[in-house]
C-alpha cells in the first residue's frame, strides 16, 4: 500500500510542478507577447517618424533648391546693377573731366579778354591824347588815323574774344546741367523675384 501511495504522491507532486511550470511559462509567453507588441508599436512609430523625416527632408530640399535659385537670380541682378552703376560713375567722371577742360578754356579766354581790354584801354588813352594833339598840330593827323585803326582792330579782337568766352560759359552750363542730372538720377533697385510679386487683387 505504501508504494502506490508514494507513486500517487510523486505523480501529484509532478503534476503540481508541471502546472506551476505551465503557469510560469504562460506568464512568460504573455510577457514576451507584450514585449513583442510594444516592440512592434515602437517599430511602427519609428517607421512613421522615418517617413515624416523623409517627407520633411524632401520638403527642405525643395525649399533649399528654391532659395538657391532665388539667390542666383538676386546675384545676377546685383551684378547687373553694379555694372550699370560703374558705367554711370564712368560717365560722371567723363563729364567732370570735360567740365574741368571747358573751365580751363574759359579761364584762358577770360585772361585773354582782360589782356585785350587792357590793351584797348591803353589804345583809347593814346587815341585821346592823339585827338588832343590834333587840335594843336594838324601834322599828327596821320598818326591819329593809324591809332584809330589799331583801336578798331583791338575792338574787333575784343568782340571776338568775348564771343568765345560766351560760348565757353554756355558749354559749361550745359555740362553742369548734365552732371546734375546724372547725380540726381534715382539708383537702380533690385527687381523682386517673380515668385515674390504681389498677387493679383482678389486672391
> How many C-alpha atoms does 68 have within 13 Å on its Cβ side?
6
Residue with cell string 552703376: 85
Residues 175 and 98 sit within 8 Å (Cβ to Cβ): yes
Q: What is the pLDDT of residues 132-152, one digit of tens each?
A: 766 777 665 566 677 778 778
Q: What is the pLDDT of residues 22-78, one digit of tens each?
A: 888 888 888 888 888 888 888 888 888 888 888 888 888 888 888 888 888 998 888
C-alpha 79/C-alpha 120 separation (Å) is 61
pTM: 0.30
Q: Of 61, 93, 76, whose CA–CA distance to 191 is shortest?
A: 76
- For residue 60 the three cell numbers come to 527642405
Amino acid at each position: 500500500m505504501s508504494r502506490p501511495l508514494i507513486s500517487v504522491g510523486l505523480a501529484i507532486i509532478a503534476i503540481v510542478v508541471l502546472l506551476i511550470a505551465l503557469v510560469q511559462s504562460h506568464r512568460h509567453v504573455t510577457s514576451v507577447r507584450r514585449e513583442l507588441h510594444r516592440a512592434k508599436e515602437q517599430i511602427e512609430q519609428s517607421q512613421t517618424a522615418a517617413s515624416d523625416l523623409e517627407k520633411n527632408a524632401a520638403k527642405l530640399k525643395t525649399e533649399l533648391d528654391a532659395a538657391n535659385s532665388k539667390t542666383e537670380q538676386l546675384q545676377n541682378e546685383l551684378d547687373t546693377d553694379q555694372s550699370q552703376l560703374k558705367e554711370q560713375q564712368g560717365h560722371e567722371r567723363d563729364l567732370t573731366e570735360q567740365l574741368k577742360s571747358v573751365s580751363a578754356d574759359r579761364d584762358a579766354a577770360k585772361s585773354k579778354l582782360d589782356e585785350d581790354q587792357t590793351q584797348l584801354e591803353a589804345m583809347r588813352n593814346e587815341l585821346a591824347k592823339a585827338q588832343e594833339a590834333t587840335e594843336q598840330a594838324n601834322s599828327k593827323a596821320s598818326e591819329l588815323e593809324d591809332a584809330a585803326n589799331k583801336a578798331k582792330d583791338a575792338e574787333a579782337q575784343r568782340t571776338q574774344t568775348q564771343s568765345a568766352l560766351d560760348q565757353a560759359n554756355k558749354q559749361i552750363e550745359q555740362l553742369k546741367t548734365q552732371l546734375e542730372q546724372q547725380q540726381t538720377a534715382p539708383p537702380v533697385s533690385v527687381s523682386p523675384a517673380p515668385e515674390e510679386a504681389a498677387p493679383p487683387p482678389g486672391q
